[in-house]
Amino acid sequence: MQHPITYPITYTDQIGRQLTLKHMPSRIISLVPSLTELLCDLELEDAIVGVTKYCVHPTHLRKHKTIIGGTKTLHLSKVQSLRPDLVIANKEENTKESIDAIAKYCPVYVSEIKSPADSYQAITALGHILHRPTQASQRVSQLQALLTQPQFSGQKVGYLIWKDPYLTAGGDTYISNMLSSIGLSNAFGHLDRYPQVSVDDLISAELDYLMLSSEPYPFKQKHLDELSDLIPHTQICLVDGEVFSWYGTRLLKVKDYFTQLHISLTRD
């Protein structure tokens, strides 16, 4: 049996900040699309009062919740008017200025997620903070099971997130760690964050695969065709960016994706 929590209670978030809750949060704003989806999967949709315009899962949510801007372009006055008692943010997706401004009147939990392990930690932490420890533990177990058997066997890959200029995922990103989790080797894993690469860089890397993400840049078939002409000896494919970059519970919705991707890339 879970023991009742005595308030006020102080927690430490993933960047080492402390936040103190005076009571169980009942008015939550999520500034992070993937964590918005997680909250709903933890049966907390009714407690959410505000989301960003990029919180597209579940699909109906934005019709019923107040949209408080984009992840980096928040309407801070609208956030405050919703009288939240907890705001959930992310170090990379939201700005420090916005987080600091909100933290003056409301507890803010800031996540920092660069790997599946970081995601599991955030799910567990939010599960405890929001009185959903069992549901959180179940989701973590399900996610871990999905990534215990890599589909690939060390093939070298590049993963593009942007065009003009081309930007790829470096080794210290969640995307790169996801690639590693399914058995792929990031050819640009020695670089940090999202470095710019040229077509010559992509050629000299001697990639087995080049993946073109659906987000944040919406790569399409025409971009694949252009690059195929320039890099004829590399297998190029379009991939679902949400699968590789949305932490939380997104993978549970598309759990067969990596199997199908492996089949399509290794088919003769």
As a whole number, mean pLDDT of residues 49-60 equals 97
SS3 151: coil
60, 119: one domain: yes
Residue 118 in this model has a pLDDT that exceeds 90? yes
Query: Is the whole-model pTM more than 0.85?
Result: yes
- Quote the domain boundaries for residue 16: 9-145
Cβ atoms of 31 and 37 closer than 8 Å: no
pLDDT for residue 52: 98
Question: Into how many domains does the chain fold?
Answer: 2
Higher pLDDT, 201 or 148: 201
139, 13: one domain: yes
140, 161: one domain: no
CATH of the domain at 82: 3.40.50.1980
pLDDT for residue 148: 86
Q: Which amino acid is at 122?
A: A
The tokens for 10 are: 């102080």
126, 241: one domain: no
Within a domain: residue 150?
no
CA distance 50 to 65: 5
Instruction: Identify the domain boundary among 115, 145, 175.
Output: 145
Residue 196 in this model has a pLDDT that exceeds 90? yes
The sign of the torsion formed by the CA atoms of 202, 206, 211, 216 equals negative
100, 201: one domain: no
194, 83: one domain: no
